[in-house]
Chains A and B, each alone.
Chain A
Amino acid sequence: MTGEDFKSWLKVEVAHYCCDEEARTESLKLYETLVMFQENYRQKLPRQVNLSAEVILEILREGKPLLAVDVIAIPAEHLAVIAREVVQIVASRGKPEATLPLKQWLKEVAWQNEQGRNVDMVFGAAFYESWGMRAAAVDPEVGAFVVYNILAPFYIQYAQEVTACVDLSGWKQGKCPVCGANPFLAILRSEDGARLLACSFCRTEWSFPRLVCPFCGNNNQRSLGFFYLPEKEAYRVYICQECKHYLKTVVAQNLGRRPLPGVENLVTLFLDEIAQGEGYSSGESFYPLSAGNPETLPGIT
Protein backbone atom coordinates (compact mmCIF):
# COMPACT_ATOMS: atom_id res chain seq x y z
CA MET A 1 0.00 0.00 0.00
CA THR A 2 1.36 3.42 -0.90
CA GLY A 3 1.56 6.26 1.59
CA GLU A 4 -1.24 8.08 -0.24
CA ASP A 5 -3.49 5.02 -0.10
CA PHE A 6 -2.82 4.69 3.60
CA LYS A 7 -3.67 8.31 4.27
CA SER A 8 -6.93 8.03 2.32
CA TRP A 9 -7.82 4.89 4.23
CA LEU A 10 -7.05 6.60 7.55
CA LYS A 11 -9.24 9.57 6.66
CA VAL A 12 -12.15 7.34 5.72
CA GLU A 13 -11.89 5.27 8.89
CA VAL A 14 -11.56 8.25 11.21
CA ALA A 15 -14.49 9.99 9.50
CA HIS A 16 -16.55 6.82 9.85
CA TYR A 17 -16.05 6.61 13.60
CA CYS A 18 -16.24 10.35 14.25
CA CYS A 19 -19.57 10.26 12.51
CA ASP A 20 -20.55 7.17 14.45
CA GLU A 21 -19.89 8.53 17.91
CA GLU A 22 -19.10 12.11 18.75
CA ALA A 23 -17.43 11.24 22.04
CA ARG A 24 -14.53 9.69 20.16
CA THR A 25 -13.80 12.64 17.96
CA GLU A 26 -11.05 14.26 20.05
CA SER A 27 -8.98 11.13 20.44
CA LEU A 28 -9.45 10.07 16.83
CA LYS A 29 -8.49 13.49 15.52
CA LEU A 30 -5.37 13.49 17.67
CA TYR A 31 -4.45 10.10 16.31
CA GLU A 32 -5.20 11.11 12.73
CA THR A 33 -3.16 14.29 12.95
CA LEU A 34 -0.17 12.46 14.39
CA VAL A 35 -0.28 9.62 11.90
CA MET A 36 -0.77 11.96 8.95
CA PHE A 37 2.30 13.91 10.01
CA GLN A 38 4.32 10.72 10.49
CA GLU A 39 3.22 9.35 7.16
CA ASN A 40 4.20 12.56 5.38
CA TYR A 41 7.50 12.85 7.16
CA ARG A 42 8.62 9.26 6.79
CA GLN A 43 8.58 9.67 3.03
CA LYS A 44 11.27 12.35 3.38
CA LEU A 45 13.59 10.03 5.28
CA PRO A 46 16.60 8.45 3.60
CA ARG A 47 16.55 4.73 2.93
CA GLN A 48 16.65 2.88 6.25
CA VAL A 49 17.34 -0.73 5.30
CA ASN A 50 20.80 -1.58 4.10
CA LEU A 51 20.49 -5.35 4.26
CA SER A 52 19.85 -7.55 1.24
CA ALA A 53 16.69 -9.66 1.08
CA GLU A 54 18.81 -12.80 1.59
CA VAL A 55 20.38 -11.44 4.77
CA ILE A 56 16.98 -10.34 6.09
CA LEU A 57 15.54 -13.79 5.50
CA GLU A 58 18.55 -15.38 7.17
CA ILE A 59 18.06 -13.23 10.30
CA LEU A 60 14.37 -14.10 10.39
CA ARG A 61 15.12 -17.79 9.92
CA GLU A 62 17.27 -17.61 13.05
CA GLY A 63 14.17 -16.43 14.90
CA LYS A 64 15.44 -12.92 15.55
CA PRO A 65 13.52 -9.72 14.84
CA LEU A 66 15.48 -7.70 12.29
CA LEU A 67 16.18 -4.85 14.66
CA ALA A 68 17.73 -7.18 17.18
CA VAL A 69 20.58 -7.36 14.63
CA ASP A 70 20.28 -4.33 12.39
CA VAL A 71 20.37 -0.70 13.51
CA ILE A 72 18.42 2.29 12.31
CA ALA A 73 20.42 5.47 12.11
CA ILE A 74 18.34 8.35 13.42
CA PRO A 75 19.90 11.72 12.55
CA ALA A 76 19.56 14.50 15.10
CA GLU A 77 18.24 17.01 12.56
CA HIS A 78 15.25 14.78 11.78
CA LEU A 79 14.66 14.10 15.47
CA ALA A 80 14.51 17.79 16.26
CA VAL A 81 12.00 18.55 13.50
CA ILE A 82 9.76 15.58 14.28
CA ALA A 83 9.87 16.25 18.02
CA ARG A 84 8.83 19.86 17.54
CA GLU A 85 5.88 18.87 15.39
CA VAL A 86 4.77 15.97 17.62
CA VAL A 87 4.85 18.13 20.75
CA GLN A 88 2.94 20.83 18.93
CA ILE A 89 0.25 18.38 17.84
CA VAL A 90 -0.07 16.89 21.32
CA ALA A 91 -0.07 20.33 22.95
CA SER A 92 -2.73 21.63 20.58
CA ARG A 93 -5.16 18.97 21.72
CA GLY A 94 -4.00 18.20 25.26
CA LYS A 95 -4.58 19.85 28.61
CA PRO A 96 -1.99 22.53 29.51
CA GLU A 97 -0.96 20.80 32.75
CA ALA A 98 0.03 17.74 30.75
CA THR A 99 1.62 19.51 27.84
CA LEU A 100 3.44 22.46 29.43
CA PRO A 101 6.25 20.23 30.77
CA LEU A 102 6.57 18.86 27.26
CA LYS A 103 7.12 22.31 25.82
CA GLN A 104 9.67 23.01 28.52
CA TRP A 105 11.41 19.74 27.76
CA LEU A 106 11.52 20.62 24.06
CA LYS A 107 13.36 23.87 24.86
CA GLU A 108 15.97 22.11 26.95
CA VAL A 109 16.59 18.91 25.07
CA ALA A 110 19.90 18.63 23.24
CA TRP A 111 19.45 16.42 20.23
CA GLN A 112 22.09 13.98 19.18
CA ASN A 113 22.19 11.18 16.68
CA GLU A 114 20.38 8.10 17.93
CA GLN A 115 20.66 4.48 16.99
CA GLY A 116 17.28 2.84 17.12
CA ARG A 117 17.05 -0.84 17.86
CA ASN A 118 14.30 -3.19 18.87
CA VAL A 119 11.54 -2.01 21.08
CA ASP A 120 12.92 -3.15 24.41
CA MET A 121 16.12 -1.28 23.76
CA VAL A 122 14.36 1.85 22.62
CA PHE A 123 11.95 2.04 25.50
CA GLY A 124 13.68 -0.31 27.93
CA ALA A 125 15.07 1.32 30.98
CA ALA A 126 16.52 4.62 30.18
CA PHE A 127 14.44 6.65 27.78
CA TYR A 128 12.84 8.70 30.54
CA GLU A 129 16.20 9.64 31.98
CA SER A 130 18.33 9.87 28.87
CA TRP A 131 15.87 11.96 26.93
CA GLY A 132 15.81 14.39 29.85
CA MET A 133 12.14 13.95 30.56
CA ARG A 134 12.50 13.35 34.24
CA ALA A 135 14.37 16.63 34.64
CA ALA A 136 11.56 18.47 32.83
CA ALA A 137 8.93 16.73 35.01
CA VAL A 138 7.16 15.28 32.00
CA ASP A 139 4.57 12.71 32.95
CA PRO A 140 6.21 9.34 32.14
CA GLU A 141 3.26 8.08 30.20
CA VAL A 142 2.90 11.24 28.16
CA GLY A 143 6.67 11.20 27.70
CA ALA A 144 6.75 7.64 26.44
CA PHE A 145 3.93 8.43 24.06
CA VAL A 146 5.82 11.39 22.67
CA VAL A 147 9.05 9.40 22.32
CA TYR A 148 7.14 6.66 20.58
CA ASN A 149 5.62 9.10 18.14
CA ILE A 150 8.95 10.78 17.47
CA LEU A 151 10.64 7.49 16.68
CA ALA A 152 7.74 5.85 14.88
CA PRO A 153 8.41 7.38 11.42
CA PHE A 154 11.87 5.81 11.30
CA TYR A 155 10.56 2.40 12.31
CA ILE A 156 7.54 2.59 10.01
CA GLN A 157 9.76 3.54 7.08
CA TYR A 158 12.14 0.68 7.94
CA ALA A 159 9.25 -1.78 8.14
CA GLN A 160 7.78 -0.56 4.87
CA GLU A 161 11.09 -1.12 3.11
CA VAL A 162 11.40 -4.60 4.61
CA THR A 163 7.90 -5.71 3.71
CA ALA A 164 8.35 -4.38 0.18
CA CYS A 165 11.22 -6.76 -0.49
CA VAL A 166 10.67 -9.76 1.82
CA ASP A 167 7.81 -12.17 2.39
CA LEU A 168 7.26 -12.45 6.15
CA SER A 169 5.03 -15.54 5.96
CA GLY A 170 7.83 -17.73 7.31
CA TRP A 171 7.91 -15.82 10.61
CA LYS A 172 6.10 -17.89 13.23
CA GLN A 173 6.59 -15.91 16.41
CA GLY A 174 4.24 -13.79 18.45
CA LYS A 175 6.48 -10.74 18.39
CA CYS A 176 6.98 -8.39 15.48
CA PRO A 177 9.50 -9.71 12.93
CA VAL A 178 10.80 -6.21 12.32
CA CYS A 179 11.09 -4.44 15.68
CA GLY A 180 10.34 -7.21 18.18
CA ALA A 181 7.31 -5.56 19.81
CA ASN A 182 4.40 -7.65 20.98
CA PRO A 183 1.20 -7.17 18.99
CA PHE A 184 -1.38 -4.68 20.18
CA LEU A 185 -4.24 -5.92 18.02
CA ALA A 186 -5.14 -8.86 15.82
CA ILE A 187 -7.32 -9.16 12.75
CA LEU A 188 -9.18 -12.26 11.59
CA ARG A 189 -8.95 -11.90 7.82
CA SER A 190 -12.22 -11.95 5.85
CA GLU A 191 -11.08 -14.36 3.15
CA ASP A 192 -10.03 -17.29 5.32
CA GLY A 193 -10.26 -16.32 8.99
CA ALA A 194 -6.45 -16.33 9.38
CA ARG A 195 -5.13 -14.27 12.25
CA LEU A 196 -2.89 -11.31 11.48
CA LEU A 197 -1.05 -9.68 14.35
CA ALA A 198 -0.41 -5.95 14.19
CA CYS A 199 2.54 -4.07 15.64
CA SER A 200 1.65 -0.67 17.03
CA PHE A 201 5.18 0.61 16.72
CA CYS A 202 6.23 -0.09 13.13
CA ARG A 203 2.78 -1.06 11.78
CA THR A 204 4.01 -4.45 10.50
CA GLU A 205 1.37 -7.17 10.17
CA TRP A 206 2.22 -10.87 10.21
CA SER A 207 0.24 -14.08 10.41
CA PHE A 208 0.11 -16.21 13.53
CA PRO A 209 -1.93 -19.34 14.42
CA ARG A 210 -5.29 -18.70 16.05
CA LEU A 211 -4.95 -21.44 18.62
CA VAL A 212 -1.64 -20.32 20.11
CA CYS A 213 -1.09 -17.49 22.58
CA PRO A 214 1.28 -14.99 20.91
CA PHE A 215 2.61 -13.87 24.28
CA CYS A 216 3.57 -17.16 25.94
CA GLY A 217 3.25 -19.77 23.17
CA ASN A 218 0.58 -21.72 25.05
CA ASN A 219 -1.24 -23.99 22.60
CA ASN A 220 -3.52 -25.82 25.01
CA GLN A 221 -6.94 -25.14 23.53
CA ARG A 222 -8.60 -25.67 26.92
CA SER A 223 -6.78 -22.72 28.44
CA LEU A 224 -7.25 -20.41 25.47
CA GLY A 225 -10.45 -18.68 24.52
CA PHE A 226 -12.06 -15.35 23.92
CA PHE A 227 -14.93 -13.19 25.01
CA TYR A 228 -17.10 -10.76 23.12
CA LEU A 229 -20.10 -8.54 23.56
CA PRO A 230 -23.08 -9.99 21.68
CA GLU A 231 -24.00 -6.52 20.42
CA LYS A 232 -20.44 -6.01 19.06
CA GLU A 233 -19.65 -9.22 17.22
CA ALA A 234 -16.96 -7.59 15.11
CA TYR A 235 -14.69 -7.57 18.15
CA ARG A 236 -13.29 -10.35 20.28
CA VAL A 237 -10.80 -10.36 23.10
CA TYR A 238 -8.62 -13.46 23.00
CA ILE A 239 -7.32 -14.50 26.39
CA CYS A 240 -4.76 -16.96 27.72
CA GLN A 241 -5.36 -18.57 31.11
CA GLU A 242 -1.65 -19.43 31.36
CA CYS A 243 -0.05 -15.99 31.06
CA LYS A 244 -3.24 -13.99 31.73
CA HIS A 245 -2.69 -11.72 28.76
CA TYR A 246 -5.34 -10.57 26.34
CA LEU A 247 -5.34 -9.50 22.71
CA LYS A 248 -8.11 -7.46 21.14
CA THR A 249 -9.16 -8.90 17.81
CA VAL A 250 -11.24 -7.54 14.94
CA VAL A 251 -13.30 -10.03 12.95
CA ALA A 252 -13.02 -8.39 9.54
CA GLN A 253 -15.94 -10.34 8.09
CA ASN A 254 -18.26 -9.06 10.82
CA LEU A 255 -16.90 -5.54 10.55
CA GLY A 256 -17.72 -5.55 6.85
CA ARG A 257 -14.52 -3.87 5.68
CA ARG A 258 -10.79 -4.02 6.14
CA PRO A 259 -9.91 -2.82 9.66
CA LEU A 260 -7.22 -0.23 10.25
CA PRO A 261 -5.51 -1.46 13.44
CA GLY A 262 -4.62 1.90 15.00
CA VAL A 263 -8.14 3.24 14.62
CA GLU A 264 -9.78 0.00 15.72
CA ASN A 265 -7.59 -0.01 18.82
CA LEU A 266 -8.77 3.45 19.67
CA VAL A 267 -12.47 2.75 19.24
CA THR A 268 -12.29 -0.41 21.34
CA LEU A 269 -10.71 1.00 24.48
CA PHE A 270 -13.80 -0.15 26.38
CA LEU A 271 -12.64 -3.72 25.70
CA ASP A 272 -9.36 -3.00 27.46
CA GLU A 273 -11.33 -1.87 30.46
CA ILE A 274 -13.45 -5.01 30.44
CA ALA A 275 -10.47 -7.32 29.90
CA GLN A 276 -8.57 -5.75 32.74
CA GLY A 277 -11.64 -5.94 34.93
CA GLU A 278 -11.74 -9.66 34.15
CA GLY A 279 -8.19 -10.05 35.44
CA TYR A 280 -6.16 -9.97 32.23
CA SER A 281 -3.42 -7.60 31.19
CA SER A 282 -2.36 -6.24 27.85
CA GLY A 283 0.46 -8.21 26.29
CA GLU A 284 2.07 -5.20 24.68
CA SER A 285 5.76 -4.89 25.24
CA PHE A 286 5.90 -1.16 25.82
CA TYR A 287 6.20 -1.65 29.52
CA PRO A 288 7.23 1.86 30.51
CA LEU A 289 3.77 2.95 29.51
CA SER A 290 2.11 0.56 31.87
CA ALA A 291 3.57 2.34 34.85
CA GLY A 292 1.87 5.28 36.44
CA ASN A 293 4.91 6.97 37.90
CA PRO A 294 8.61 7.04 37.13
CA GLU A 295 9.56 5.21 40.30
CA THR A 296 7.97 2.03 38.98
CA LEU A 297 9.55 2.17 35.55
CA PRO A 298 11.96 -0.71 35.04
CA GLY A 299 15.54 0.30 35.57
CA ILE A 300 14.79 3.81 36.71
CA THR A 301 15.67 4.62 40.27
Chain B
Amino acid sequence: MEVSRRTFLKISGAAGLTGVLLTKLGCAPRGEAPAGGEALRIQYAQEISTICPYCSVGCGALCQIQDGEVVSIVGDPDHPINEGSLCSKGSSLLNLRMIYDPKTKKLTLNPNRVTKVLYRAPGSNKWEVKSWDWALTNIAQRVKQARDATFEATDAQGVTVNRTSAIAHLGSAAIDNEENYLMVKLQRALGVINIDHHARL
Protein backbone atom coordinates (compact mmCIF):
# COMPACT_ATOMS: atom_id res chain seq x y z
CA MET B 1 0.00 0.00 0.00
CA GLU B 2 1.46 3.33 -1.02
CA VAL B 3 0.46 6.73 0.25
CA SER B 4 1.71 9.80 -1.50
CA ARG B 5 3.57 12.31 0.61
CA ARG B 6 1.42 15.27 1.44
CA THR B 7 1.77 18.12 3.79
CA PHE B 8 -0.57 18.08 6.67
CA LEU B 9 -4.09 18.87 5.54
CA LYS B 10 -7.21 17.63 7.20
CA ILE B 11 -7.48 15.65 10.35
CA SER B 12 -10.57 15.65 12.46
CA GLY B 13 -12.00 14.02 15.48
CA ALA B 14 -9.56 14.38 18.34
CA ALA B 15 -9.85 16.22 21.59
CA GLY B 16 -6.46 17.78 21.86
CA LEU B 17 -4.36 19.45 19.28
CA THR B 18 -5.48 18.06 15.95
CA GLY B 19 -4.27 18.84 12.50
CA VAL B 20 -7.34 20.84 11.57
CA LEU B 21 -7.13 22.81 14.77
CA LEU B 22 -3.43 23.46 14.43
CA THR B 23 -4.00 24.60 10.87
CA LYS B 24 -6.68 26.99 12.06
CA LEU B 25 -4.39 28.31 14.76
CA GLY B 26 -1.58 28.65 12.28
CA CYS B 27 0.91 26.33 13.96
CA ALA B 28 0.42 23.08 12.08
CA PRO B 29 3.52 21.01 11.58
CA ARG B 30 4.80 21.19 8.04
CA GLY B 31 5.47 18.01 6.12
CA GLU B 32 4.50 15.83 9.04
CA ALA B 33 5.19 12.53 7.34
CA PRO B 34 8.58 11.02 8.13
CA ALA B 35 11.39 11.95 5.82
CA GLY B 36 12.95 9.61 3.32
CA GLY B 37 11.46 9.20 -0.12
CA GLU B 38 8.36 10.47 -1.81
CA ALA B 39 6.11 7.57 -0.96
CA LEU B 40 5.26 5.94 2.34
CA ARG B 41 4.79 2.21 2.41
CA ILE B 42 2.10 0.96 4.75
CA GLN B 43 2.45 -2.55 6.04
CA TYR B 44 -0.72 -4.23 7.30
CA ALA B 45 -0.50 -6.99 9.89
CA GLN B 46 -2.71 -9.12 12.10
CA GLU B 47 -2.28 -10.53 15.57
CA ILE B 48 -3.57 -14.06 16.12
CA SER B 49 -3.49 -15.73 19.52
CA THR B 50 -2.19 -19.25 19.97
CA ILE B 51 -0.88 -21.61 22.65
CA CYS B 52 2.78 -22.56 22.91
CA PRO B 53 3.10 -26.21 21.83
CA TYR B 54 6.16 -27.07 23.90
CA CYS B 55 5.05 -28.00 27.39
CA SER B 56 2.09 -28.53 29.64
CA VAL B 57 2.13 -25.01 31.08
CA GLY B 58 0.17 -23.83 28.03
CA CYS B 59 1.43 -20.26 27.72
CA GLY B 60 -0.42 -17.90 25.42
CA ALA B 61 1.37 -16.33 22.47
CA LEU B 62 0.55 -13.74 19.82
CA CYS B 63 1.57 -14.40 16.23
CA GLN B 64 2.10 -11.38 14.02
CA ILE B 65 0.98 -12.22 10.50
CA GLN B 66 2.04 -10.19 7.49
CA ASP B 67 1.04 -11.04 3.93
CA GLY B 68 -0.10 -14.47 5.08
CA GLU B 69 3.16 -15.35 6.81
CA VAL B 70 4.06 -15.32 10.48
CA VAL B 71 6.85 -12.83 11.13
CA SER B 72 6.97 -12.65 14.90
CA ILE B 73 5.69 -14.54 17.94
CA VAL B 74 5.59 -12.92 21.38
CA GLY B 75 4.02 -13.76 24.71
CA ASP B 76 0.36 -12.85 25.03
CA PRO B 77 0.10 -10.13 27.71
CA ASP B 78 -3.58 -10.91 28.25
CA HIS B 79 -3.08 -14.63 28.82
CA PRO B 80 -3.66 -15.47 32.49
CA ILE B 81 -0.87 -18.07 32.64
CA ASN B 82 2.16 -16.22 31.31
CA GLU B 83 0.99 -12.56 31.20
CA GLY B 84 3.20 -11.70 28.25
CA SER B 85 6.31 -13.66 29.15
CA LEU B 86 7.75 -16.72 27.40
CA CYS B 87 10.52 -19.05 28.51
CA SER B 88 13.73 -19.32 26.51
CA LYS B 89 12.34 -22.21 24.52
CA GLY B 90 8.99 -20.54 23.92
CA SER B 91 10.77 -17.37 22.84
CA SER B 92 12.16 -19.28 19.89
CA LEU B 93 8.72 -20.39 18.68
CA LEU B 94 9.06 -18.48 15.44
CA ASN B 95 12.03 -20.64 14.51
CA LEU B 96 9.77 -23.65 14.18
CA ARG B 97 8.74 -22.11 10.90
CA MET B 98 11.06 -19.23 10.07
CA ILE B 99 14.76 -18.60 10.57
CA TYR B 100 16.85 -15.51 10.18
CA ASP B 101 19.08 -15.65 7.12
CA PRO B 102 22.25 -13.68 7.90
CA LYS B 103 23.05 -13.34 4.20
CA THR B 104 19.82 -11.69 3.13
CA LYS B 105 19.07 -10.35 6.63
CA LYS B 106 15.51 -11.55 6.19
CA LEU B 107 13.30 -14.21 7.65
CA THR B 108 13.16 -17.30 5.52
CA LEU B 109 11.39 -20.65 5.81
CA ASN B 110 13.21 -23.05 8.13
CA PRO B 111 14.66 -25.71 5.77
CA ASN B 112 14.89 -28.24 8.63
CA ARG B 113 11.19 -28.19 9.35
CA VAL B 114 9.60 -31.55 8.53
CA THR B 115 6.46 -30.92 6.51
CA LYS B 116 6.00 -34.33 4.87
CA VAL B 117 5.75 -37.90 6.10
CA LEU B 118 9.23 -39.44 6.17
CA TYR B 119 9.67 -43.23 6.41
CA ARG B 120 12.83 -45.18 7.09
CA ALA B 121 12.37 -48.89 6.39
CA PRO B 122 13.89 -51.48 8.77
CA GLY B 123 17.61 -51.84 7.98
CA SER B 124 17.65 -48.82 5.71
CA ASN B 125 19.66 -45.64 6.25
CA LYS B 126 17.54 -43.51 3.91
CA TRP B 127 14.37 -41.57 4.47
CA GLU B 128 11.54 -41.97 1.94
CA VAL B 129 8.77 -39.43 1.46
CA LYS B 130 5.34 -41.05 1.91
CA SER B 131 1.78 -39.82 1.80
CA TRP B 132 -0.37 -39.34 4.87
CA ASP B 133 -2.77 -42.04 3.60
CA TRP B 134 0.11 -44.49 3.33
CA ALA B 135 1.35 -43.60 6.81
CA LEU B 136 -2.00 -43.87 8.55
CA THR B 137 -2.86 -47.15 6.83
CA ASN B 138 0.53 -48.63 7.77
CA ILE B 139 0.31 -47.47 11.38
CA ALA B 140 -3.19 -48.95 11.71
CA GLN B 141 -2.10 -52.25 10.17
CA ARG B 142 0.97 -52.56 12.40
CA VAL B 143 -0.90 -51.66 15.55
CA LYS B 144 -3.47 -54.31 14.74
CA GLN B 145 -0.78 -56.91 13.94
CA ALA B 146 1.09 -56.22 17.17
CA ARG B 147 -2.07 -56.23 19.23
CA ASP B 148 -3.47 -59.41 17.69
CA ALA B 149 -0.16 -61.23 18.08
CA THR B 150 0.17 -60.40 21.78
CA PHE B 151 -3.41 -60.02 23.00
CA GLU B 152 -4.20 -61.77 26.29
CA ALA B 153 -7.89 -62.35 26.98
CA THR B 154 -7.22 -63.89 30.41
CA ASP B 155 -4.22 -64.12 32.69
CA ALA B 156 -2.61 -67.25 34.18
CA GLN B 157 -5.33 -67.43 36.84
CA GLY B 158 -8.09 -67.29 34.25
CA VAL B 159 -9.11 -63.73 35.14
CA THR B 160 -10.34 -61.70 32.17
CA VAL B 161 -7.78 -58.96 31.34
CA ASN B 162 -8.18 -58.22 27.59
CA ARG B 163 -4.78 -56.56 27.32
CA THR B 164 -1.60 -56.29 25.31
CA SER B 165 1.76 -55.46 26.80
CA ALA B 166 3.45 -55.15 23.41
CA ILE B 167 2.33 -51.58 22.79
CA ALA B 168 3.00 -48.46 24.84
CA HIS B 169 1.46 -45.04 24.37
CA LEU B 170 3.20 -41.79 25.24
CA GLY B 171 0.86 -38.82 25.27
CA SER B 172 1.62 -35.18 24.66
CA ALA B 173 2.03 -32.37 27.14
CA ALA B 174 0.61 -29.88 24.72
CA ILE B 175 -2.79 -31.35 24.03
CA ASP B 176 -5.97 -30.48 25.85
CA ASN B 177 -8.29 -32.42 28.14
CA GLU B 178 -10.62 -33.58 25.40
CA GLU B 179 -7.80 -34.85 23.20
CA ASN B 180 -6.31 -36.70 26.18
CA TYR B 181 -9.71 -38.28 26.83
CA LEU B 182 -9.95 -39.54 23.25
CA MET B 183 -6.39 -40.88 23.25
CA VAL B 184 -6.88 -42.82 26.46
CA LYS B 185 -10.24 -44.10 25.18
CA LEU B 186 -8.53 -45.47 22.06
CA GLN B 187 -5.70 -47.10 24.01
CA ARG B 188 -8.09 -48.72 26.48
CA ALA B 189 -10.18 -50.02 23.60
CA LEU B 190 -7.06 -51.58 22.10
CA GLY B 191 -6.12 -53.13 25.44
CA VAL B 192 -2.99 -51.02 25.88
CA ILE B 193 -1.98 -50.84 29.53
CA ASN B 194 1.30 -48.95 29.21
CA ILE B 195 0.02 -45.39 28.99
CA ASP B 196 2.03 -42.40 30.06
CA HIS B 197 2.67 -38.77 29.20
CA HIS B 198 5.72 -36.64 28.65
CA ALA B 199 4.83 -33.55 30.63
CA ARG B 200 8.09 -33.59 32.54
CA LEU B 201 10.22 -30.91 30.93
| Chain A interface residues toward B at CB < 8 A | 21, 23-24, 26-27, 30-31, 90, 93-95, 98-99, 139, 141-142, 145, 148, 181, 184, 189, 191-195, 200-201, 209-211, 221-222, 224-232, 262, 265-266, 269-270, 272-274, 276-278, 281-282, 284, 286-287, 289-292
Lowest 8 A-B CB distances belong to which pairs?
Answer: A192-B84, A95-B26, A26-B27, A94-B25, A282-B13, A194-B77, A290-B13, A286-B15
Which of B42-50, B51-59, B163-171 forms part of the interface with chain A? B42-50
Bound CA span A157–B36, Å = 42
Q: Contacts A23-B32, A200-B16, A232-B34 hold; do A272 and B27 have CB atoms under 8 A apart? A: no
A-B contact count (CB 8 A): 174
- Tell me whether B20 and A266 are in contact (CB under 8 A): no
B residues less than 8 Å from A222 (CB atoms) = 46
B side interface size, CB within 8 A: 49
- Tell me whether A209 and B78 are in contact (CB under 8 A): yes
A residues less than 8 Å from B46 (CB atoms) = 221-222, 224-226
One digit per residue, 1 when the CB lies within 8 angstroms of any chain A CB and 0 when it does not, for chain B 163-194 equals 00000000000000000000000000000000
- Tell me whether A272 and B45 are in contact (CB under 8 A): no
The answer, yes or no, to whether B139 is at the interface (CB within 8 Å) is no
- Tell me whether A95 and B12 are in contact (CB under 8 A): no
**In the complex, which residue of chain B has the Cβ closest to the Cβ of A230?**
B43
Chain B nearest Cβ from A147, distance in angstroms: 10
- Tell me whether A30 and B84 are in contact (CB under 8 A): no
Count chain A CB atoms within 10 A of each CB in B3, B15, B34 and give the residue with the most.
B15
**In the complex, which residue of chain B has the Cβ closest to the Cβ of A287?**
B13
Count chain B CB atoms within 10 A of each CB in A262, A277, A287, A292 and give the residue with the most.
A277
**In the complex, which residue of chain B has the Cβ closest to the Cβ of A288?**
B15
- Tell me whether A227 and B25 are in contact (CB under 8 A): no
Bound CA span A197–B11, Å = 21
The answer, yes or no, to whether B18 is at the interface (CB within 8 Å) is yes
Bound CA span A269–B13, Å = 12
- Tell me whether A192 and B83 are in contact (CB under 8 A): yes
- Tell me whether A270 and B33 are in contact (CB under 8 A): yes
**In the complex, which residue of chain A has the Cβ closest to the Cβ of B12?**
A290
Chain B nearest Cβ from A295, distance in angstroms: 15
- Tell me whether B21 and A145 are in contact (CB under 8 A): yes
Bound CA span A186–B121, Å = 57
- Tell me whether B48 and A221 are in contact (CB under 8 A): yes
Bound CA span A13–B36, Å = 23
A residues less than 8 Å from B28 (CB atoms) = 27
16 contacts between A and B (CB under 8 A): A30-B17, A142-B24, A184-B14, A192-B75, A193-B84, A211-B78, A225-B45, A227-B43, A231-B36, A265-B17, A272-B11, A273-B9, A273-B32, A274-B42, A286-B15, A290-B13
